[in-house]
Amino acid sequence: MKRDVMEQLIEWKDSADRKPLLITGVRQCGKTYVCKEFGETYFEDVAYFYFEGNKGLASVFEYDFDVDRILDELGNIIRGKEIIPGKTLVIFDEVQACPNAITSLKYFCENKRELHIICAGSLLGVSIKRDNISFPVGKVDRLQMYPMTFSEFLRADGGEAIYKGVQRYEKGRELPELYTAALEKALKYYYIVGGMPEVVAKWVETHNFEKIEKLQDNILLDYSSDFAKHAPKTDIPKLGWIWESIPKQLAKDNNKFVFSHVKAGKRSNELEDALEWLVDAGLVHRLELVKNPELPLSFYADATFFKVYMADVGLLRRKSGVSHRTIMEDSELYKNFKGAFTENFVLNELISQGIHPYFWRSGNTAELDFLFEYDDMVIPMEAKAELHTRAKSYQQFCKKYHPDVGFKFSMKNVGNHEVSETKTYSIPLYLIWMIKQYLNW
């Protein structure tokens, strides 16, 4: 399965000012697979080291940070084969289990820049904040990985020709049914399956809903086990409460995250650390409110008023108890939750493209789903689950602030028009992976 992150790894490999690379991302999003595939494709040799539960391996980093000694012991003693800079890709997996290995990256950067070294960790984001690690600030490159996007899923599930064909069409031109029918069906499948690589692989192999749901259940159980294994003991029950509350909070008409709805009698100051743990682990995303849409948006974000979404729509669908039949048949009973589910999908797609959005609200009269900055512009975006694209809040925002460009994502075909002098692109949800192409167009 092709992952878009591979292009970033190639760019890192060929960079003249390359540093050791830290890859973070939610557990089971494909970090290890991508690292190994990258090494086997672009290097003569791969030296892979797994740190979790390996005290012997960790002991290599306890004496000092002499990189020549470390490489000699890793290569000639532990794996029985020399590590050759420029030819060998070194992979440190679950590196958060060995804080000294993280600290050593400073010395690899300073004294062995010719060595290609990648460190990956499912809970690395948590460990960096939580543990007393001498972190090599300024001495590492960073890369965040996510579950597979819709376009990656489409290509993995036999849609490579559709993927390439769409890009041959002029950006403002409607797509023929040859494309729209296939893409609509693929999007429904993606809503069911999601982007966890193991689940996608099983889907591609079997196209069996029951088999992929068993894998999704196992992943959700693994995440809960991580709470008990890696989180502070005082936070374990809090993590469970928050984790279980996310689908319920999304189902509300006003899906602002409310701490008092997590557990009766609990206040935000009692639960904030637990929520931050989930964010650092990559399991959830926060979408913060911006009332004043000026640049930079981060300066005007209200960190106390936010929504919380899950990192994978397939897991959200399974955790919410929504049947695959409900998705495939567009059941009316699913209509209310479908809007929040669509927002979750759009947010994940934006974040995977390096776009970090906010949402806008004007009192109780209007709420815009997403707002992000791009090339000195503030870009408004509205997301609708169905064909209906009338968006009063979007119109109100454009009338008040007059942005140059905006987007409406729905199941409606491609089109564009003016809204209060704002160039507005109507784009199907299944083409959200092309948003930067539209912005540059």
Phi, psi for residue 358 in degrees, rounded to 5: -130, 180
Burial class (CB in 10 A: 0-12, 13-18, 19+), 274: buried
Beta strands in 126-275 (DSSP E): 141-145
Among the candidates 106, 122, 145, a domain finishes at 145
Residue 76 CB coordination number (10 Å): 12
Please give the model's pTM, rounded to 2 decimal places. Answer: 0.95
Sequence-separated (6 or more) residues with CB below 8 Å from residue 183:
154, 159, 162, 166, 175, 428, 430, 431
Say whether both 116 and 237 belong to one domain: no
| Tokens found for residue 368 | 């815009």
Sequence-separated (6 or more) residues with CB below 8 Å from residue 325:
331
Say whether both 218 and 95 belong to one domain: no
Sequence-separated (6 or more) residues with CB below 8 Å from residue 77:
none
Q: What is the pLDDT of residues 336-379, one digit of tens each?
A: 889 999 999 999 999 999 999 999 998 878 999 999 999 999 99
Say how far apart CA 301 and CA 305 lie, in whole Å.
9
* Phi-psi group of 265: left, alpha or beta (phi > 0 → left; psi -120 to 50 → alpha; rest → beta): left
pLDDT of res. 123: 86
Q: What is the pLDDT of residues 107-126, one digit of tens each?
A: 999 999 999 999 999 888 78
Say whether both 135 and 228 belong to one domain: no
Sequence-separated (6 or more) residues with CB below 8 Å from residue 292:
300
- Cross-strand partners of 118: 21, 91
Say whether both 214 and 363 belong to one domain: yes
Question: Residue for token digits 């002499």?
Answer: 66
pLDDT of res. 232: 86
| Tokens found for residue 429 | 């949800």
Helix (H, G, I), strand (E, B) or coil at 194: coil
Say whether both 35 and 181 belong to one domain: no
**197 cis-preceded (ω within 30 degrees of 0):** no
pLDDT of res. 441: 82
Say how far apart CA 33 and CA 425 lie, in whole Å.
37
Residue 409 DSSP code: E
Residues 383, 346 contacting (CB under 8 angstroms): yes
| Tokens found for residue 29 | 């999003």
Phi, psi for residue 19 in degrees, rounded to 5: -120, 170
Domain that includes residue 280, residue range: 150-440
Say whether both 317 and 197 belong to one domain: yes
Say whether both 107 and 176 belong to one domain: no
Say whether both 209 and 91 belong to one domain: no
Among the candidates 145, 178, 193, a domain finishes at 145
**Splitting the chain (441 residues) into consecutive groups of 10 residues, what average pLDDT does each group show?**
96 97 95 98 98 96 96 97 97 94 96 97 80 84 97 98 95 94 98 98 98 98 92 92 94 87 89 94 96 95 96 97 94 86 97 97 89 95 84 92 95 90 94 94 82
Closest CA to 183 of 202, 199, 162, 200: 162
Tell me the CATH number at 49: 3.40.50.300
Say whether both 65 and 210 belong to one domain: no
Say whether both 359 and 404 belong to one domain: yes
Helix (H, G, I), strand (E, B) or coil at 94: coil
| Tokens found for residue 225 | 């086990």
Residues 125, 282 contacting (CB under 8 angstroms): yes
Closest CA to 315 of 287, 351, 273, 285: 285
Say whether both 337 and 382 belong to one domain: yes
Buried-state track 328-352, b at ≥16 Cβ within 10 A, e below 16: eeeeeebeebbbbbbbbbbbbbbbb
Among the candidates 83, 117, 145, a domain finishes at 145
Say whether both 105 and 180 belong to one domain: no
Distance of CA 309 to the CA centre of its chain: 11
pLDDT of res. 132: 67
Split into its structural domains, the chain has a count of 2
pLDDT of res. 254: 78
Closest CA to 96 of 109, 85, 105: 105
